[in-house]
C-alpha cells in the first residue's frame, strides 16, 4: 500500500487525506453501507419535494402565442363524420373496410394525398430482441396463414410553402370492427383538425394523419406503419404483384383502388417526423368539475419524449382550454397509510423549518406529497418495466418524440351540444400544439429526456434522482474492497488458503464461477424461445419445464466445472445491494452470539427468497391481487410479456439479477 | 447630394480650427459682404494668409470637424435569424422605412437582414412583414433593397462594411461609401449580452470589435459624426469601449437589464416589435423631414416604465450639445448645405471660406440676389483653386520681368539639359 510506504519512509508524516479517508471507509464499511442505504432511501422518499416546476426551454415553441382559429365550422365537419360513422355502423356494413373507405373519401375531399396501409399484425411470439431501433431486415415478413390483416388509412397535407422535409404526425386509433362512440368521436376530432389544417397558411411541416386500425391492438398498427414508413421497399415486381392481388382479395373490390384518379395503394411519405401526437376520446368521467386530459408519455425501456412536448400540451390544456391534466399514478399508493405518515412528517419538518427561518419554504402538504410519491412511483415503474404505455412508444423507437393524450369529458357525450363544445376545445388544443411544434426549427433537444414526473407540471431530472441510486449503490465497491482486504489479511495466516494465495491464481476460481453462472443465466434466459416452440403447452407447464431445465443445466455445469472457489465472488455480484451486503457463508457465522447468528440467518433466508425473481414476482402479485389467483403460470406470462415488448428488464433480470442470486446461494452454501 | 431648396450654412460651433481661421473670417467677411465682383485685388491681399493657413493645416493632424456635414448614411442590421425573432426583422425594416421617409436614399442605406421572415413558411401573411398587430403597414412593400441577407449577415461582413475593407468584387451598392462629411446612423438589433451582440446564433460582435471598427473608420475619415443605436439586452455595454470622437451611442437597456418585446401579434403568432424600437418609431411618426426635433428630445422621449428598461446613451465623445442637433441630422438626409460651384471637393479648406461667406449673408439674402451671389462665388472659386493660386503668385512675381528674356533663359537651359542628357546617355 502506498500509505504504508509513506509511513515507513517518514513515520511522522500524516498519510494523504484521500488515502486516509479510503482506509477509514473500508474499515468502517458496515456502518458506511448502512448509512448510505438509509440515505439513499431517504433521498428517494424526498423526490416529490425535490421536484422542480416545468418550464418551456425551447424558445421557438412559443405555445399559445397565436390564437386558435379552429371554429364551429370545423366542429360541424366532425359531427357529420361521427354521424356517418354511426349510421354505417347501424346499417351493419362493417364487414371490412366501410369505415376506412369513408375516412379516405373525406380526406381526399379536403385535397389531401391519401392511401391505405395494409399490415399484418404480429402474433405474440418470442422474436429476436430489438433495442432502441427497428430491424430493417425483418421488413419482409413471411406470410403466415394465421397472421391477421389490418388496414390503416393515412392522409398527408403538404405544407403550402414548406420545404417538405419535416412532418407532424397525428394518430387516432380506433377499433374498426366495432366503432364505439368514443372512437367515432376521436375520428371526428382527427378529421376536423385535418380538414382545418388543409386550409391554414402557416404550415411549415407536412401533416400526416394516421387513422390506425387498432382491432389487433393500437401499438401493432402504428408500429407496422412506422416500419413501412422508415423502410422503403424499392421496386420489386413480385412483391408489388403479390400485394395488389392480396389487396384485392382483402379489400373485396375490383378497380376501386383508384380514388379521384389516384392510386390509393401506393405508400406515400412526408419528411422526417418532428413530433407525433396520439389522441383519443376516452370514457366520460363524472365527479370532476373540469374535462380531463390524461397524458401518457413512457415509451419502451424507460425512454421518454422530450419534456418540452409534455410542457406544451400541459400549458395549452391548462391555461388555454381549461382542461385538468392527469398523468398516470399508482392509485393504491395515494391512500396508503405509511406514505401519508411520511408526508405528515415532512410537512411537520417543513413547518418547523419555516418557523425557524421564513425563507426556508420547502414543505409541502402531506396530501401533495402522497400524490407526488404515487405519481413518481408510477413513472418509475413504467420506466423500469420498459413497456410503453401507449402507441406513442412505437414512435420513440425511431427517435420521434410522441405522446398519447386521451380526452375525457365530464359529461356523457351523447348530447350533441356537449359533443361540439368538447370537440371545439379538443381541436383548439391540438391546433395549438401543432402550431407550436410547427414553429420548431430543429428537433426537440432543449429540454430533458431523462426525467420522472411528480405532477403534470413538476418533474425530477436525472441529476436529482441519480443521487438516491448512487447512494444505494455506493456501499457495494466499499464492501467489496473491505472483503478483499480482510481476505488478504486472513489469507496469509491460514494454511490452506495461503497456498492458493501464494500462487496468486486464486481469482481464477472466482472468475470461473462467475463466468459459469453467467453462461447458465444466458442459457436460461434464451430458453423460453425454445419452449414456446412446443405446441399446446400451458403457461404453468412452460414455467415448470423452464425451471426444471434451468436447474438441471446448472447442475450439469456444476459437475463439469467442478466446485469452484468462491469467497471473492461477491465482487461480481455487486448489483443487488441488500442481498449482496447481507449474505455470509452459513457455516462461517456459526460462532458468535446466538441472536446475531439467528438474525443473520433469517436475513439471509428472507433475502434469498425475495431475491429470486419468480418468487418476488409471485409475492408482489399476491399482495396486490390476492393470493388465490396466483399461479406459477404468471411467471411465464410476465416473461413472455417482457420479451414481446423488448423490455431491457428481461435482460436485467436474467443476465444480472439471477446470476447474482445464484452466486449468493453459492456463498451461503460455502463450506 | 445637396438639395437646392436647402441652401444653408454649416455652423462653426464644432470647428476646432486655430485663431488664424477666425482671422481669415474677419478679414474675408467684410470683403465678401460687399458683394462686388471686382474683389480680386483685395482678395489677393489675403493670399499669403491662405498659404500660411494651408501650411498650418498640412502640419496639424487631420481633423474631421474641418469638413461640413454633407451626406447621410445608414447601416441597419438585424442580426438574428429564426422565425421566433420575427420582431428583429420588423424592427430593422421599420427603421429602414423611417430613414427612407426622412430622406436618406436607398443607395445610402446598407440594410442587413439575417433572415427572411416574409417568405417563411410559418408566416400567415406571405411576403408581408408587419410591426403592429393592426396590420396597417406592410414593411416589406415594393421598394425594399436588402443589401446583405441571410447568411451574408456576419460579423466579418458588418466590420467590412464599417471599415470599407471589401474584396474587390463587392459591388458599390453593398459598400458604405461615406467620407469625412458623412453622418452615419448604425442601427443594430438582435440578441445580446454583456459587451456582445449575437450574429446568426453562431458568432458574436464584441464591444471591442465595434470600438476598433469605429476607430478605423475615424482614422480613414469615413465619418464626421456617428450615431450608434442598439436595441438588445444590455445594449449599453456594447459601446462601453468606444473612444473615437464624434460618436454618439444609445442603447435600449443598461447593463443587467433585458430589453423586451412590445406586443404579440396573435394572428402571426409572434411578437412583432421591440419596445425600444416601438417608442422610437412612435417618436418619428410625428415628424417629417422639415421638423426641428432635437436628439435630446428623442432621448428624453424614452420612458423607462414603458420600455421596461432604461434607455441609456453615451455622449462624452460627442461635442455638440444634443439639444441643438436635429434628429434629421442622422435619421434623415437633412443637412446645412451651401452652393459649391466647383466640381472638386478634395480640398478641405475651401468650403470654410465660403461658408463664412454664406453664413454672414444668409440672413440678409433675398431670392433675387441669389444669382449674383452665385456668380461671385463662381469667380472666387476659380481664384481659389490651389493651382490657379500658385500660378497667380508666379505671375505676380514675374509681372515686371521681360517675358522674352524668360523664354530665352528657358530655351538656353533646355539646350543645356539636352546636352547633358545626351552626354550621359553616350
The pLDDT tens digits of the residues spanning A175-225 come to: 888 888 888 999 999 999 999 999 999 999 999 999 998 888 888 889 899
Are the Cβ atoms of A439 and B266 closer than 8 angstroms?
A: no
Supply φ then ψ for residue A163, to 5 degrees: -95, 0
Global ipTM = 0.77
Residues of chain B contacting residue A161, judged by C-beta atoms under 8 Å apart = 119, 121, 126
Mean pLDDT over A250-263 rounds to 56
Are the Cβ atoms of B82 and A162 closer than 8 angstroms?
A: no
Residues of chain A contacting residue B266, judged by C-beta atoms under 8 Å apart = 65-67
Cα A67 to Cα B359: distance, rounded to the nearest angstrom: 60
Per-residue HEC secondary structure of B56-91 comes to HHHHCCCCHHHCCCCEEEEEEEECCCCHHHHHHHHH
Question: pLDDT tens digit string along A344-395?
Answer: 888 888 888 888 877 777 767 888 888 888 898 888 888 888 888 888 999 9
Are the Cβ atoms of A438 and B123 closer than 8 angstroms?
A: no
Q: Can you give the pLDDT at residue A587?
A: 56
Residues of chain A contacting residue B84, judged by C-beta atoms under 8 Å apart = 59-60, 62, 439
Using CB atoms and an 8 Å cut-off, which of residues 31-60 of chain B contact chain A? Answer: none
**Candidate from A59, A67, A202 with C-beta closest to B122:** A202
Q: Can you give the pLDDT at residue B21?
A: 38
Residues of chain A contacting residue B122, judged by C-beta atoms under 8 Å apart = 202-204, 438-439
H or E element at residue B113:
strand B109-113
Instruction: Give exposure, B44-62, as e/b (b: 16+ Cβ within 10 Å).
Output: eebeeebeebeeebeeeee
Q: Which residue has the higher pLDDT, A158 or A537?
A: A158
pLDDT more than 90, % of chain A: 19
Are the Cβ atoms of A441 and B121 closer than 8 angstroms?
A: no
Q: Can you give the pLDDT at residue A255?
A: 44
Are the Cβ atoms of A202 and B126 closer than 8 angstroms?
A: no
Residues of chain B contacting residue A67, judged by C-beta atoms under 8 Å apart = 266-267
Question: pLDDT tens digit string along A146-168?
Answer: 456 888 999 999 998 888 899 99
Cα A439 to Cα B82: distance, rounded to the nearest angstrom: 9
> Is B161 touching A (CB cutoff 8 A)?
no
Answer for the pair A444, A308: CB distance below 8 angstroms, yes or no. Answer: yes
Q: Where are the beta strands (DSSP E) in A423-521?
A: 451-455, 458-461
Are the Cβ atoms of B84 and A163 closer than 8 angstroms?
A: no
Answer for the pair B145, B97: CB distance below 8 angstroms, yes or no. Answer: no
Strands lying side by side in the sheet with A52-53: A52-53, A458-461, A451-455
pLDDT higher than 70, residue A95: no
Mean pLDDT over A473-479 rounds to 82
Cell numbers standing for residue A149: 390483416
Collapsing DSSP to helix, strand or coil, A358 comes out as coil
Per-residue HEC secondary structure of A374-427 comes to HHHHHHHHHHHHCCCCCCHHHHHCCCCEEEEEEEECCCCCCCHHHHHHHHHHHH
- For chain A, the average pLDDT equals 78
Q: Where are the beta strands (DSSP E) in A158-307?
A: 166-174, 206-213, 258-259, 262-263, 272-281, 292-296
**Candidate from B119, B122, B271 with C-beta closest to A439:** B122
Cα B132 to Cα A188, B95, B138, B224, distances in angstroms = 37, 14, 9, 35
Place of cell 430622406: B103
**Candidate from A66, A162, A435 with C-beta closest to B121:** A162
Are the Cβ atoms of B84 and A162 closer than 8 angstroms?
A: no
Residues of chain B contacting residue A308, judged by C-beta atoms under 8 Å apart = none
Provide the residue count of chain B: 426
Residues of chain B contacting residue A62, judged by C-beta atoms under 8 Å apart = 84, 269-270
Which sign, positive or negative, has the C-alpha torsion B120, B122, B126, B131?
negative
Instruction: Please classify residue B128 by burial: count the beta carbons closer than 10 Å to its beta carbon, then call 0-12 exposed, 13-18 middle and 19+ buried.
Output: middle
Q: Confidence class of residue A478 from pLDDT cuts 50, 70 and 90? A: confident
Give the A:B interface size as CB pairs under 8 Å: 46
Chain A: residue whose CA lies nearest to B84: A60
Residues of chain B contacting residue A57, judged by C-beta atoms under 8 Å apart = none
CA distance A52 to chain B (A): 25
pTM to 2 decimal places:
0.76
Chain A: residue whose CA lies nearest to B133: A66
Instruction: Identify the bridge partners of residue A171 per DSSP, sorted by sequence position.
Output: A210, A278
Answer for the pair A36, B236: CB distance below 8 angstroms, yes or no. Answer: no
Place of cell 366501410: A98
Chain B: residue whose CA lies nearest to A200: B124
> Is B122 touching A (CB cutoff 8 A)?
yes
Are the Cβ atoms of A201 and B126 closer than 8 angstroms?
A: yes
CA distance B171 to chain A (A): 31
CA distance B133 to chain A (A): 12
The residue among B121, B258, B266 with the most chain A CBs within 10 A of its CB, best to mutate, is B121
Chain B: residue whose CA lies nearest to A64: B269
Cα B338 to Cα B354: distance, rounded to the nearest angstrom: 8
Are the Cβ atoms of B269 and A441 closer than 8 angstroms?
A: no
H or E element at residue B185:
strand B182-189
Q: Can you give the pLDDT at residue A313?
A: 94
Mean pLDDT over A329-351 rounds to 83
Q: Can you give the pLDDT at residue B22?
A: 38
pLDDT higher than 80, residue A591: no
Cα A553 to Cα A521: distance, rounded to the nearest angstrom: 10
Q: What is the DSSP string of B285-305?
A: HT--TT---BHHHHHHT--HH
Q: With the CA atoms of A6, A10, A14 and A19 taken in that order, what torsion angle do they form, in degrees rounded to the nearest 10?
A: 0
Are the Cβ atoms of A439 and B267 closer than 8 angstroms?
A: no
**Candidate from A163, A201, A441 with C-beta closest to B124:** A201
Collapsing DSSP to helix, strand or coil, A67 comes out as coil
Are the Cβ atoms of B122 and A160 closer than 8 angstroms?
A: no
* Under-70 pLDDT residues of chain B: 1-66, 335-338, 342-386, 397-401
Supply φ then ψ for residue A10, to 5 degrees: -120, 95
pLDDT higher than 60, residue A562: no
Q: Which of these, A193, A196, A175, A195, lies nearest to A184 by C-alpha position?
A: A175
Are the Cβ atoms of A65 and B119 closer than 8 angstroms?
A: no
Of A90-99, A487-496, A527-536, B247-256, where does mean pLDDT reach its minimum? A487-496
**Candidate from A67, A161, A439 with C-beta closest to B266:** A67
- Chain A residues with CB-CB distance to B under 8 A? 59-60, 62, 65-67, 159-163, 200-204, 435, 438-439, 441
Q: Which of these, A339, A337, A275, lies nearest to A310 by C-alpha position?
A: A275
Instruction: Please classify residue B137 by burial: count the beta carbons closer than 10 Å to its beta carbon, then call 0-12 exposed, 13-18 middle and 19+ buried.
Output: middle
Collapsing DSSP to helix, strand or coil, A87 comes out as helix
Collapsing DSSP to helix, strand or coil, A589 comes out as helix
Cα A418 to Cα A181: distance, rounded to the nearest angstrom: 13
Residues of chain A contacting residue B124, judged by C-beta atoms under 8 Å apart = 200-202
Q: Which of these, B246, B243, B249, B248, lies nearest to B231 by C-alpha position?
A: B249
**Candidate from B121, B266, B270 with C-beta closest to A159:** B121
Answer for the pair A197, A204: CB distance below 8 angstroms, yes or no. Answer: no
pLDDT higher than 50, residue A79: yes
Query: Active-site residues of B: which are they?
Result: 191, 233
Instruction: Identify the bridge partners of residue A275 per DSSP, sorted by sequence position.
Output: A168, A401
CA distance A64 to chain B (A): 8
Are the Cβ atoms of A65 and B83 closer than 8 angstroms?
A: no
**Helix axis angle, A307-315 relative to A416-438, nearest 10°?**
140
Cα B291 to Cα A459, B96, B196, distances in angstroms = 58, 19, 35
**If you compute the radius of gyration of chain A from its CA atoms, what whole number of angstroms results?**
30
Collapsing DSSP to helix, strand or coil, A460 comes out as strand
CA distance B98 to chain A (A): 28
Q: Which residue has the higher pLDDT, A585 or A348?
A: A348
Residues of chain A contacting residue B119, judged by C-beta atoms under 8 Å apart = 161
Question: pLDDT tens digit string along B177-195?
Answer: 999 889 999 999 999 999 9
Instruction: Please classify residue A214 by burial: count the beta carbons closer than 10 Å to its beta carbon, then call 0-12 exposed, 13-18 middle and 19+ buried.
Output: buried
Residues of chain A contacting residue B264, judged by C-beta atoms under 8 Å apart = 65
Are the Cβ atoms of A66 and B269 closer than 8 angstroms?
A: yes
Residues of chain A contacting residue B201, judged by C-beta atoms under 8 Å apart = none
CA distance A57 to chain B (A): 13
Cα B135 to Cα A528: distance, rounded to the nearest angstrom: 68
Are the Cβ atoms of A200 and B264 closer than 8 angstroms?
A: no
Cell numbers standing for residue B412: 538656353
Q: Can you give the pLDDT at residue B152?
A: 92
Cell numbers standing for residue A509: 476460481
Cell numbers standing for residue A365: 402538504
Are the Cβ atoms of A160 and B121 closer than 8 angstroms?
A: yes
Collapsing DSSP to helix, strand or coil, A576 comes out as coil
Instruction: Identify the bridge partners of residue A324 per DSSP, sorted by sequence position.
Output: A292
Cα B183 to Cα A468, A649, B65, B76, distances in angstroms = 65, 72, 11, 14
H or E element at residue B282:
helix B275-285
Cα B391 to Cα B67: distance, rounded to the nearest angstrom: 26
H or E element at residue A42:
helix A29-45
Are the Cβ atoms of A65 and B266 closer than 8 angstroms?
A: yes
Place of cell 462601453: B240
Amino acid at each position: 500500500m502506498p500509505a504504508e510506504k509513506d509511513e515507513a519512509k517518514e513515520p511522522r508524516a500524516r498519510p494523504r487525506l484521500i488515502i486516509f479517508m479510503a482506509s477509514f471507509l473500508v474499515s468502517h464499511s458496515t456502518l458506511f453501507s448502512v448509512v448510505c442505504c438509509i440515505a439513499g432511501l431517504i433521498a428517494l422518499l424526498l423526490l416529490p419535494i425535490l421536484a422542480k416546476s416545468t418550464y418551456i426551454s425551447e424558445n421557438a415553441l412559443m405555445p399559445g402565442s397565436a390564437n386558435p382559429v379552429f371554429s364551429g365550422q370545423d366542429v360541424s365537419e366532425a359531427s357529420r363524420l361521427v354521424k356517418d360513422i354511426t349510421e354505417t355502423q347501424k346499417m351493419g356494413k362493417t364487414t371490412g373496410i366501410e369505415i376506412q373507405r369513408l375516412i379516405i373519401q373525406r380526406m381526399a375531399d379536403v385535397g389531401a394525398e391519401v392511401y391505405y396501409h395494409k399490415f399484418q399484425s404480429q402474433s405474440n411470439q418470442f422474436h429476436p430482441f430489438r433495442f432502441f431501433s427497428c430491424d430493417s431486415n425483418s421488413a419482409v415478413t413471411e406470410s403466415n396463414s394465421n397472421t391477421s390483416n389490418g388496414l390503416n388509412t393515412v392522409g398527408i397535407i403538404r405544407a403550402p410553402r414548406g420545404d417538405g422535409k419535416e412532418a407532424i404526425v397525428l394518430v387516432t386509433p380506433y377499433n374498426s370492427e366495432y366503432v364505439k362512440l368514443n372512437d367515432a368521436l376521436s375520428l371526428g376530432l382527427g378529421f376536423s383538425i385535418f380538414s382545418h389544417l388543409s386550409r391554414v397558411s402557416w404550415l411549415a411541416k407536412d401533416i400526416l394523419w394516421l387513422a390506425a386500425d387498432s382491432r389487433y391492438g393500437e401499438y401493432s398498427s402504428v408500429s407496422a406503419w412506422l416500419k413501412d414508413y422508415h423502410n422503403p421497399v424499392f421496386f420489386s415486381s413480385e412483391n408489388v404483384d403479390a400485394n395488389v392481388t392480396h389487396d384485392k382479395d382483402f379489400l373485396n373490390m375490383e378497380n376501386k383502388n383508384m380514388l379521384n384518379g389516384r392510386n390509393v395503394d401506393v405508400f406515400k411519405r412526408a419528411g422526417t417526423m418532428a413530433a407525433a401526437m396520439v389522441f383519443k376520446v376516452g370514457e366520460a368521467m363524472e365527479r370532476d368539475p373540469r374535462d380531463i386530459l390524461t397524458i401518457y408519455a413512457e415509451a419502451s425501456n424507460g425512454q421518454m419524449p422530450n419534456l418540452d412536448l409534455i410542457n406544451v400540451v400541459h400549458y395549452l390544456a391548462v391555461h388555454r382550454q381549461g382542461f385538468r391534466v392527469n398523468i398516470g399514478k399508482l392509485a393504491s399508493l395515494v391512500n396508503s397509510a405509511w406514505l401519508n405518515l411520511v408526508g405528515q412528517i415532512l410537512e411537520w419538518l417543513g413547518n418547523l423549518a419555516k418557523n425557524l427561518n421564513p425563507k426556508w419554504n420547502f414543505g409541502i402538504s402531506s396530501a401533495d406529497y402522497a400524490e407526488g410519491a404515487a405519481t413518481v412511483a408510477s413513472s418509475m415503474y413504467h420506466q423500469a418495466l420498459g413497456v410503453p404505455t401507449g402507441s406513442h412508444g412505437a414512435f420513440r423507437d425511431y427517435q420521434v418524440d410522441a405522446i398519447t393524450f386521451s380526452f375525457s369529458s365530464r359529461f356523457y357525450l351523447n348530447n350533441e351540444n356537449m359533443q361540439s363544445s368538447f370537440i371545439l376545445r379538443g381541436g383548439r388544443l391540438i391546433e395549438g400544439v401543432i402550431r407550436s411544434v410547427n414553429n420548431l426549427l430543429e428537433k426537440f433537444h432543449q429540454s430533458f429526456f431523462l426525467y420522472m414526473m411528480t405532477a403534470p407540471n413538476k418533474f425530477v431530472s436525472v441529476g436529482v434522482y441519480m443521487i438516491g441510486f448512487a447512494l444505494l449503490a455506493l456501499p457495494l465497491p466499499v464492501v467489496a474492497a473491505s472483503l478483499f482486504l480482510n481476505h488478504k489479511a486472513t489469507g496469509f495466516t491460514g494454511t490452506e488458503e495461503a497456498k492458493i494465495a501464494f500462487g496468486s491464481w486464486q481469482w481464477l476460481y472466482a472468475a470461473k464461477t462467475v463466468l459459469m453462472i453467467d453462461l447458465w443465466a444466458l442459457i436460461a434466459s434464451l430458453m423460453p424461445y425454445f419452449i414456446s416452440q412446443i405446441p399446446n403447452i400451458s403457461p404453468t407447464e412452460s414455467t415448470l419445464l423452464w425451471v426444471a431445465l434451468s436447474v438441471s443445466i446448472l447442475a450439469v455445469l456444476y459437475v463439469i466445472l467442478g466446485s469452484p472457489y468462491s469467497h471473492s465472488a461477491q465482487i461480481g455480484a455487486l448489483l443487488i445491494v441488500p442481498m449482496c451486503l447481507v449474505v455470509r457463508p452459513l457455516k462461517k457465522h456459526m460462532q458468535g452470539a446466538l441472536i446475531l447468528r439467528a438474525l443473520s440467518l433469517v436475513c439471509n433466508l428472507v433475502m434469498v427468497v425475495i431475491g429470486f425473481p419468480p418468487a418476488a414476482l409471485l409475492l408482489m402479485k399476491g399482495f396486490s391481487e390476492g393470493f388465490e389467483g396466483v399461479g406459477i403460470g404468471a411467471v411465464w406470462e410476465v416473461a413472455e410479456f417482457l420479451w414481446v415488448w423488448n423490455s431491457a428488464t428481461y435482460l436485467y433480470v436474467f443476465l444480472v439479477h439471477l446470476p447474482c442470486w445464484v452466486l449468493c446461494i453459492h456463498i451461503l452454501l460455502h463450506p | 447630394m445637396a438639395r437646392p431648396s436647402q441652401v444653408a450654412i454649416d455652423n462653426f460651433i464644432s470647428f476646432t480650427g486655430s485663431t488664424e481661421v477666425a482671422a481669415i473670417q474677419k478679414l474675408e467677411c467684410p470683403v465678401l459682404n460687399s458683394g462686388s465682383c471686382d474683389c480680386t485685388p483685395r482678395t489677393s491681399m489675403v493670399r499669403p494668409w491662405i498659404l500660411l493657413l494651408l501650411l498650418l493645416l498640412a502640419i496639424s493632424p487631420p481633423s474631421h470637424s474641418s469638413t461640413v456635414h454633407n451626406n447621410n448614411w445608414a447601416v441597419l442590421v438585424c442580426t438574428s435569424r429564426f422565425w421566433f425573432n420575427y420582431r428583429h426583422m420588423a424592427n430593422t425594416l421599420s427603421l429602414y422605412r423611417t430613414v427612407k421617409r426622412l430622406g436618406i436614399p436607398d443607395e445610402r442605406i446598407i440594410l442587413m437582414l439575417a433572415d427572411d421572415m416574409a417568405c417563411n413558411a410559418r408566416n400567415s401573411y406571405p411576403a408581408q412583414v408587419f410591426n403592429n398587430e393592426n396590420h396597417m403597414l406592410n414593411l416589406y412593400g415594393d421598394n425594399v433593397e436588402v443589401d446583405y441577407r441571410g447568411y451574408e449577415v456576419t460579423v466579418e461582413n458588418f466590420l467590412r462594411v464599417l471599415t470599407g475593407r471589401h474584396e474587390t468584387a463587392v459591388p458599390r451598392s453593398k459598400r458604405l461609401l461615406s467620407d469625412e462629411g458623412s453622418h452615419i446612423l448604425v442601427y443594430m438589433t438582435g440578441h445580446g449580452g454583456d459587451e456582445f451582440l449575437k450574429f446568426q446564433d453562431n458568432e458574436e460582435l464584441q464591444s471591442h470589435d465595434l470600438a476598433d471598427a469605429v476607430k478605423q473608420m475615424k482614422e480613414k475619415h469615413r465619418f464626421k459624426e456617428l450615431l450608434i443605436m442598439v436595441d438588445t439586452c444590455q445594449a449599453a455595454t456594447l459601446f462601453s469601449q468606444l473612444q473615437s470622437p464624434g460618436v454618439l451611442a444609445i442603447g435600449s437597456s443598461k447593463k443587467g437589464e433585458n430589453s423586451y418585446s412590445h406586443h404579440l401579434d396573435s394572428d402571426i403568432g409572434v411578437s412583432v416589435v421591440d419596445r425600444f424600437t416601438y417608442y422610437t418609431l412612435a417618436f418619428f411618426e410625428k415628424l417629417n423631414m422639415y421638423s426641428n426635433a432635437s436628439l435630446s428630445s428623442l432621448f428624453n422621449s424614452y420612458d423607462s416604465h414603458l420600455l421596461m428598461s432604461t434607455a441609456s446613451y453615451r455622449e462624452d465623445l460627442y461635442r455638440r450639445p444634443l439639444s441643438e442637433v436635429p434628429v434629421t441630422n442622422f435619421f434623415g438626409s437633412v443637412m446645412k448645405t451651401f452652393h459649391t460651384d466647383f466640381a472638386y471637393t478634395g480640398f478641405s479648406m475651401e468650403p470654410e471660406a465660403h461658408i463664412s461667406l454664406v453664413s454672414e449673408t444668409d440672413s440678409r439674402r433675398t431670392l433675387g440676389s441669389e444669382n449674383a451671389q452665385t456668380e461671385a462665388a463662381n469667380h472666387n472659386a476659380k481664384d481659389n483653386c490651389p493651382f490657379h493660386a500658385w500660378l497667380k503668385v508666379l505671375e505676380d512675381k514675374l509681372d515686371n520681368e521681360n517675358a522674352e528674356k524668360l523664354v530665352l533663359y528657358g530655351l538656353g537651359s533646355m539646350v543645356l539639359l539636352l546636352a547633358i542628357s545626351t552626354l550621359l546617355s553616350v
